[in-house]
Amino acid sequence: MHARQRVFVTRRLPGDALERLRAEHEVEVWPERLPPPREELLRRAPDLDGLLSLLTDPVDAELIAAAPRLRAISNYAVGTDNVDLEAASARGIPVGNTPGVLTESTADLALALMLGIARRLAEGEAFVRAGEWRTWEPGLMLGRDLHGATVGIVGFGRIGQAVARRAEGFGCRVVQSSRSSGVALEELLEQSDFVTLHCPLTRETQGLIGREALARMKPTAYLVNTARGPVVDSAALGEALAAGEIAGAALDVTDPEPLPGDHPLLAAPNLLVVPHVASATHATRERMAAIAVDNLLAGLAGEPMPFSANGPVSPQAP
């Protein structure tokens, strides 16, 4: 039986996966709705053997250096842009993630956002609740069709391909642009009625959809982002919406995230924003927790993680 190790989990998680973690290790869970403050993470770091983090927790080189005992990091997300993988790998610390499990739920939401913004669902719901719906009108709340549209998918990994299957079911023409296949991004932007983003956040994709990209889109086209907020230049998007350069945008992720209530982007017309809920179904979030715990248990036991974002790593000599 291996010795119990100290683990910090930065938020309560759905389901019962954390009970399996508690059965083997000393586990403390941050009890608040909001993330633990930076100083709290740094204060706890020296005593930690394991960390189960969320995408809102910056696990950077400073934090990793402050945790000399740290043996495993498990990120409750597919993306690991909040974790300094290079610093973790240099220390021989495996970093787990949760790929695959949220593919279908995220693809569902991408289609929901396309329909929601094109068919003006949020506007219509607010219109009814405000008591403004007095009669059926031929020109009321006219939107645009998804069926028969050209859907451009930027990033054609698991989620991009799942979106393509759904779009094809709607009778859409699908074009895609990725690092290894598809059409040039410029061509995709010019052709598409819906541009939906499914690429990881990297140095190359940060600000990928800025003023130039938005200017290439049709004035009747919609932008959908369920990837990461910084893939889109928020200021440029707000300007494009205000100027009518594109028909609308639907965002599950933003930059900054969360958007403050007084952020200029929220004043832009034809914008639908939801609070990063692409994976927010009971089944998906519970499965994510199970995978995150499996990753952490393996890492703490010195075994390969089922899902590691930085591959096999070798612990460095102290």
Question: What's the rounded Cα separation, in Å, for the pair 107 and 198?
Answer: 9
pLDDT in tens, 171-230: 999 999 999 999 999 999 999 999 999 999 999 999 999 999 999 999 999 999 999 999
**Which pTM value belongs to this model?**
0.90
| Active-site annotation, residues | 228, 257, 276
Give me the DSSP letters along 233-294.
-HHHHHHHHHTTSSSEEEESS-SSSSPPTT-GGGGSSSEEE--S-TT-SHHHHHHHHHHHHH
Residue 312 — very low, low, confident or very high, per pLDDT cuts 50/70/90?
A: confident
Task: Return phi, psi of residue 175, to 5°.
Answer: -120, 150
pLDDT in tens, 122-164: 999 999 999 999 999 999 999 999 999 999 999 999 999 999 9
Which residues, including other chains, have CB under 8 Å from residue 315's CB and lie 6 or more apart?
91, 92, 93
Helix, strand counts (H, E) of the chain: 11, 11
**Domain annotation for the chain: domains and CATH numbers:** 6-100+282-300 (3.40.50.720), 103-273 (3.40.50.720)
Res. 236: pLDDT tops 80: yes
Question: What's the rounded Cα separation, in Å, for the pair 78 and 72?
Answer: 16
